[in-house]
Chain A
């Protein structure tokens, strides 16, 4: 069974640009979550999607958005990039995202650098 796939692996952008990151969950998983990881901050929750609907959202500005397609693949978009958006963006999938014992399966992440 293929794992969670994130593309691209690395991305370099300049301030003001926008970026789209992609995530393909494990086959059969319907919940996809996105996290931003920066040194010293741990993983900050961005949002979670289930059946093409955003079910939960973290405390990030509206420049961060996402969507999920009918095949559970998900994209996140960051518009008007700022230097502080430089981070590792991790995508994680789980079966339903509705049980306390459901573990998350992570992709390798997209390392975004904003210059």
Chain B
């Protein structure tokens, strides 16, 4: 079974500062993908970044980077130079590869608020 744990219900960050959102996961799948999504108050989920379990390098997408530590089963999202528009819910997710089909499992999310 897959499990995603996000232990920070809410976070505050000053505008232009960097912030790290924590995510740990548990799976017995040999291959898996890790994702981060952003959900603004409008409700739509927006894909931010992807990390494959066999990727040697940490993923980066603009101001977003994923701090992937496989041995610790963690996939933390780092947002650099926070902007007011970054205020949203952030979800960590995992897609496994077992049994011939997959489902994507989500954490309960972290609410990020950027302070001017």
- Are B108 and A90 within 8 A (Cβ)? no
Q: Give per-residue flags for B78-114: 1 if the beta carbon is below 8 A from chain A beta carbons, else 0.
A: 0000000000000101011100011111111100000
Q: What's the nearest-Cβ distance from chain B to residue A104, in Å?
A: 6
Interface residue from B33, B96, B109 paired with A42 (Cβ < 8 Å)? B109
A98 surroundings in chain B (CB, below 8 A): 101-102
A107 surroundings in chain B (CB, below 8 A): 44
Given contacts A105-B47, A106-B44, A109-B44, contact A100 B105 (CB under 8 A): no
Given contacts A42-B91, A100-B52, A100-B95, contact A111 B101 (CB under 8 A): no
A88 CA / B109 CA spacing, docked (Å):
15
- Are A33 and B104 within 8 A (Cβ)? yes
Q: Is A15 an interface residue (CB 8 A)?
A: no
Q: What's the nearest-Cβ distance from chain B to residue A52, in Å?
A: 15
- Are B91 and A43 within 8 A (Cβ)? yes
When C-beta atoms are compared, the residue in chain A nearest to B31 turns out to be: A100
- A-B pair count, CB < 8 Å, reads 69
Q: Is A108 an interface residue (CB 8 A)?
A: yes
- Are B102 and A100 within 8 A (Cβ)? yes
A111 CA / B101 CA spacing, docked (Å):
28
A111 surroundings in chain B (CB, below 8 A): 43
- Are A108 and B101 within 8 A (Cβ)? no
Q: Is B56 an interface residue (CB 8 A)?
A: no
- Are B47 and A103 within 8 A (Cβ)? yes
- Are B104 and A45 within 8 A (Cβ)? yes
- Are B44 and A104 within 8 A (Cβ)? no
B64 surroundings in chain A (CB, below 8 A): none
Given contacts A102-B95, A109-B43, contact A42 B106 (CB under 8 A): yes
Q: Which residues on A are within 8 Å of B, measured CB to CB? A: 33, 35, 40-43, 45, 48, 50, 55-56, 58, 88, 90, 92, 97-109, 111
Closest CB pairs A-B (n = 9)? A42-B108, A106-B45, A100-B33, A43-B106, A108-B44, A100-B97, A109-B43, A56-B103, A55-B101
A-B contact pairs, 29 of them (CB 8 A): A33-B103, A33-B104, A42-B107, A45-B103, A45-B106, A48-B101, A48-B103, A55-B101, A56-B102, A58-B103, A90-B45, A92-B45, A92-B104, A97-B101, A97-B102, A100-B96, A100-B97, A101-B33, A101-B50, A101-B95, A103-B47, A103-B50, A104-B93, A104-B104, A105-B47, A106-B37, A106-B45, A108-B43, A108-B44
